[in-house]
Amino acid sequence: MSIKYSNASAAGLLYYGEFLDTTTQTTGGTSSDNLITFNTLDTASGISVSSGNITTANAGAYYINLTANCFLNGGGGGTLFTFWYSVNGTPASNSGFTYTNTTSGQNILATLEDVANLNAGDVVTFHWWTSTNTYGQLKAIAAGTNPTRPSSPSVKLTMFNVG
């Protein structure tokens, strides 16, 4: 779910950000910790992005919602996709979520949700792993026609302070 705040102060939010990536991200293999990157800033105040690094300017509790479009590009079914995040290089406890994609050519939407207590200047990074050597992808999908519909990013991150 994506929440847009055209007037964040009226919504009671001081710090927020929405970031996405419009490219397909590929795995480095079964032993790789793949860093999720973001190439588009949708909106932000008090949270910034530089490639895969999300930096908070202010301390507080932050709601995190990451969605990823997992695609299996061959190799059969039963491929696992695991997502987690790190704060200042240390994996956050209990932040891992694993999804199974059972059919080649199929997309599944994976979600990572959490609330994290962060300090000013903390750097949050998001990671993924897949159990196949080359077939797992985070796939961006182009806009469509008949009917006209928007493109889908490979990943989208929404963060905002909750306390």
Instruction: Give the pair of three-digit tokens for residue 38.
Output: 């973001």
Q: Are 138 and 9 in contact (CB under 8 A)?
A: no
Q: Which range has the top average pLDDT, 4-18, 106-120, 127-141?
A: 106-120
pLDDT, tens digit (0-9, with 9 covering 90-100), for 91-105: 999 999 999 988 888
Sign of CA pseudo-dihedral 96, 31, 127, 120: positive
Which one is the CATH code of 16-161: 2.60.120.40, 3.40.630.30, 1.20.1260.10, 3.40.640.10?
2.60.120.40
What is the model's pTM? 0.89
Q: Distances in Å between the alpha carbon of 78 and those of 26, 33, 109, 145, 154?
A: 18, 19, 15, 32, 20
- Show the tokens assigned to 29: 């293999």
Average pLDDT over residues 107-130: 96
Q: In this model, does residue 9 exceed pLDDT 70?
A: no
